[in-house]
Structures are given as structure tokens and as C-alpha cells.
Structure 1
Amino acid sequence: MKAWRVHQTGQPREAMRLDEVAVPEPGPGEVLLRVLAANVNFPDALLCRGEYQIKPPLPFTPGVEMCGEVVAAGEGVTGVESGARVITPALLPGGAFAEYAVVTARGVLPAPEALDDAEAAALHIGYQTGWFGLHRRAALRPGETLLVHAAAGGVGSAAVQLGKAAGATVIGVVGGADKVKAARELGADIVVDRHREDFVAVVKEATAGRGANVVYDPVGGDAYTRSTKCVAFEGRIVVVGFASGTIPAPALNHALVKNYAILGLHWGLYNVQDPVAVHQAHEELTRLAAEGTVKPLVSERIGFEDAPDAVQRVADGTTVGRLVVLP
């Protein structure tokens, strides 16, 4: 089979190499999938660069989530039928940018019927992260104000839709006119182009000075630091990632005197610590997809041969919504 592999870490466009390798076989508790669609995530770029918290042995295939068709199941696997269409995180070092992939059976979830392969591939990690961040960590309530950074990106776009589904007023921060348009189409009530406006001032004006009840931050750096200037009394800042490349150092004295909470979110831990909650979140996301309330913004469907370029573009922050690779 064909698989994109990283033999030496570096920028995705240079590091990913197309190889011909054997189709993997599922071991006990594993499932072999034919990859139908592989969503491109920022962690894929970090993996290529050797900067991700998980460092698979070289050579490895990036691609951290996929929609696939069940081909075979390993020993001890029950309840997973051959031919079923599923979504799942990858089992590194054998990621999703390949024609076939082996994954753990416990992480496999039925693909929502309301979504096509590309949309389903983009539902899992981003929307699960949004669901746990907004509901489990921040306890977002109807009528509250939600500030979402990188609102037209993969993770941010999911948070915009989920925030609206929860009854919040959503303020999205983006960079560029094309991203402003995308965030509005996603349902954001107010969209701020950070190149032209100060989101702190916009948030304060929109909330009559009260500030945002919840801040959803996959960017870090200055986005986080400035968010502390417009977070509300008893507000919650959910730290999702550091796409800016800068990990901020929170001023805890400021959190104390202003009475807000800083909440970390590592969604992957729920797969280990509370897998039942992951399945419950998937059921809710499937319901919302069936209603049309959530629908991943797949801006481009990429040919398999262009996977390295797609990962590079996500790394460079030049994309809107999701890029999905179709083998």
C-alpha cells in the first residue's frame, strides 16, 4: 500500500515521503481500516517537526484522525462489523495518511450518517475537544458570551458551532477577510479581524463592560494574554493549544484579583481516563449532526498526492476550516 512517512523530522512539505509498504495486520484488540478520508490537524505538523508531546519512532506515518471502513478485526474484538464506516483517532506510528491503518478497537466510533466521509473525518478530535472544553471544563451556559480564537480554523470553527448550539453569544476572532466570512457563515454573532480591530475593545463593548464568560483559546501567546483583559468576573479561560508557537506564562495574581479560572484541556486523556464520556459526547455530536446544528467546515478535499502540502499549509496558518485528504 501507499503511505506518507517521515524518516527525518522537519517541515511537513520536506519531511513527508511517499513509500510503498505492506498492509498492516491488526493485533489483539485492534481493527484494520481502509482509510476513506484523513483530516489534517495542527498536531500532524508538530509530529513532522518532532515537536509534538508524542514522538513516534521513525519512520512513522502522520495523520491523527480518520474516517475508515472496517476490513478486519484482531483477536478479542467484538461489536465491530466488517464493512462498517467508522471514525477514530490514529494509532501511531501508523497514522491516517495511508491507504490502510490499524487502530485500537476501543477508539472506533460509528460515523454519523448525516456526514460524508470527509466531514466525518473532521468531526472527531476537533468537536470532541470543543464539547469537553465548553461543557465538561467550562460549563458553558445559555445566554453567556463565548470568545473563540482562530474561529475560522479547524478547532475554532467547531467551538463556534457548539457554542451556538449551547445558546451562547459567540464572538469569533480571526485573521483576514476570508476568515471573517467563514466565521460568520459558521454562526458567530460577532467576528473580529485581529489585523484590523482590537478584540478586547469589541468584547467589552458587546458585553457592556462585563467581558466574556468563556474564552476558548487554541492559539496561546498574545491571544491568551489579551484575553485576560476581557474575561468576565467568574469567567473561564479554556487552554486548548498553542498554535501561535508561544506558550504563555499566566499571571496567577491576575487570576486571583479578577476571579477567573484557567482550565487546561487535553482531550486525549479522556480516552484513557473516561472513555465512557467520549462515547456519550459522540452520541450528542451525532444527534447535533443529524439536526444540522453542527457540520464540519471542509474547505478543501485534497488528493492523496498533495498530503504534505496540505499539512504544511495548516502549519503555516493559511487555511480556513478543514483540509481533508482523500486516499
Structure 2
Amino acid sequence: MKIVQSFWTKPFLRSGDLLTDARLNGGWPHRRFNYYSIALSYHHLRKFYDEVELVTDSIGYELLIEKLRLDYNKVSVELDYLDDYEPGLWALGKIYAYRMQESPFLHVDNDIFINRPFGPVVSEAALVAQNKQASTPHYSTTFHDICKRFPYVPGYLKKIEELPFVPCVNAGILGGSNIAFFRQYTEEVFEFINRNHDFISGHMDQFNSAFVNVVFEQVLFYSLSREAGVDIDYLFPDHNDNPPSIGYLHEMDCHQGYAHALGDYKKLRMVYKMVEHELSTGYPESFGRINDLLSVLEL
């Protein structure tokens, strides 16, 4: 199983101020912590895996490869093809990365940190995600708005419209050996986005960006797997939502050597300072390079 990471820079660099929950700074309080996170996640993965690949665009190549000198085994700049899409659709970079895969893989977000390799439940799965995720009322409201207002919604998504809570997975890690399913899944996502493109372009500021991305990446993945009769394995199979304290690096040993600084965890001083500390002590060359580049406005 190879590891894949992705970095689509358009949401990172060009999300508009009016876009609710835009990905400016990757969700961190300052872009320096986004670079710290990307570098630390990469170094953790390279410690345990020989094959770690990056799917990015030309700007991402300049930032992560030429400037930060992160030594991925293979780098693709195919995310340049996404330049016509709204930056608020930040998960599309991941979807495109999934679509490119031709052999078993695990996509790992760049806010995930590990201190041991993944076990066989993950590495040998046909489909695998971090855990099931219970939707909040806010997610459900956005999902119902999408079903009512978007010109095209596939039937298997409409089937769950009446449920009080919308079922989905957390895609902090997502992958597996069932490449045929990933082809179908990514085709479905791009059909959903492309057929709604004009509506999204004119109305994206009326939606919460995070919730829209959850729908087309995580809800659609879960719903399509159910429709196709394909089981999903989970890193945390006993959890119906994100495990408590999953974003704290000092709690990694309580979570199979895994931390995911998702959502509001990024805003916590304890979390972003721990990322800074881990990078500065474990990988001082990367830490110093990031700070030097920031000091001369090269990042």
C-alpha cells in the first residue's frame, strides 16, 4: 500500500473573504502553522513508508518541492486541471488524487500525524476511512438545502434526505484496494459538481464551504458504498463519530499512534504549538527552512 497526499493551492491561496469556512491558511491561525503541519505530516509518513506520493499543482510544486524540499517519491501537478473550479470546493483536490490511483493506496490528509505504521485493518482493506461520522444539525441543514436547491442530486443521496442525521465517513484517511469503486466514486463526484457548476458559481457564498465539501466527499462516499453493497473498514470501527481528543498530538498513543488536527483543533494553541514543537525538535532543518522563507516573504 502506498501513501498519497495532496495539496491544491487554489483554496489555500485564493479563498474569498466572504466564503464561510474557507481554507485560507488551511484552517490554521497563520499560514506558518499550515506549512509546519504539511512538513510534519510528510516526515511522519516517510519515517514508516517507502512510497509517499504527492498530487499537487504547479504552485504547490514550487512551494513544497522546490522551496521546502520535501522529498516525495513521486510528484504530479495534475491539480492544475482544477483551476476553473471554485476554491470553496477544497476537497476536489483530494477527489482528483483518488481518481488518479491505479493500485492500492491510502490518502492521508496533511493535518494527520502518526508515530507508527497503520495496521492490517487499514493496509489490507478494500475500502477504508478514519471512522463513521455523525452529522450535526448544521450538516443536515446544508444537506437538505443541497437536495432542494442544486439542479442535480443523484437518487442514492436523495434516499437519505429524510433521515434526521446524514450518515457519512471521516475522510482524514481514505483509500483501499477496490480501485474500481474509486473510479465510480470519483466519476460520481465530478458529475455532481459539473452538473451543478453554474449554480455553485453563483451561490457558493450562501453555503458553508465545509458542509458542502462533506456532502460531496464524505456523504457521497458512504451512500454510494451502501448503494453498491461494498463494505467500508475503519481505523476506529467502534466509534460512530470522531474519537474524543483525536486532534491532540500528546494523545496519539491512545489512538493507535494517530492524531488528526481536524476542524477547530487547529485553532487551539495547545495543538498548533505542539505541531511547531514536534517539527522544530524532530526535523529542525525543515523547521528552519520554513521560518527562513517566511521571514523573506517567500512563503
**TM-score interval (norm. to shorter):** under 0.3
**Structure richer in helix, relative to its length:** 2
Higher relative contact order (CA 8 A, sep 6+): 2
**Structure richer in strand, relative to its length:** 1
TM-score, normalization by structure 1: 0.25
